[in-house]
Amino acid sequence: MKDTFLGEILGAVVIADNHSNLSEEFEVKPVKVLAQGDVSIDGEMVVDEEDGKLVRILSHVNAKAYHEMYANRLGDWNQSAKVGSFEDQRRKWSRPHSS
């Protein structure tokens, strides 16, 4: 199993919440996105020293700090993952925001 979804979540957290206690570290690597017409691999990102474009990659994060922050966010009702369905989320978005 690939950790793509986990990587997307971690990346979003680091970008959106610039928390100093996450101790994030980055590397620059040449990455290529596969697009060969094979649905089993299309969209996969691989390190490619010859044809890859240089991108900044999250290589380390303080796992304990991340999990604590993530667990605290689960209690926030405004997080869309806590809403029962897309229709529930749409209703929530259409209402005026109350503090």
Q: What is the DSSP secondary-structure string of 78-93?
A: TSGGGSSSHHHHHHHH
- Asked if the structure places residue 51 within a domain, the reply is yes
pLDDT band, very low/low/confident/very high, at 1 (cuts 50, 70, 90): very low
- Asked if the structure places residue 52 within a domain, the reply is yes
- Asked if the structure places residue 97 within a domain, the reply is no
The structural domain count of the chain equals 1
**Range(s) of the domain holding residue 38:** 4-92
- Asked if the structure places residue 47 within a domain, the reply is yes
- Asked if the structure places residue 36 within a domain, the reply is yes
What separation, in Å, do the N-terminal and C-terminal C-alpha atoms of the chain show? 41
Per residue in 41-93, pLDDT tens? 888 888 999 999 999 888 888 889 888 887 777 766 665 555 566 777 777 77
pLDDT at position 65: 86
Q: Which two tokens stand for residue 34?
A: 């596969």
Per residue in 8-47, pLDDT tens? 677 666 666 666 688 888 899 999 998 888 888 888 888 9
pLDDT at position 95: 76
- Asked if the structure places residue 26 within a domain, the reply is yes
Residue type, 49: E
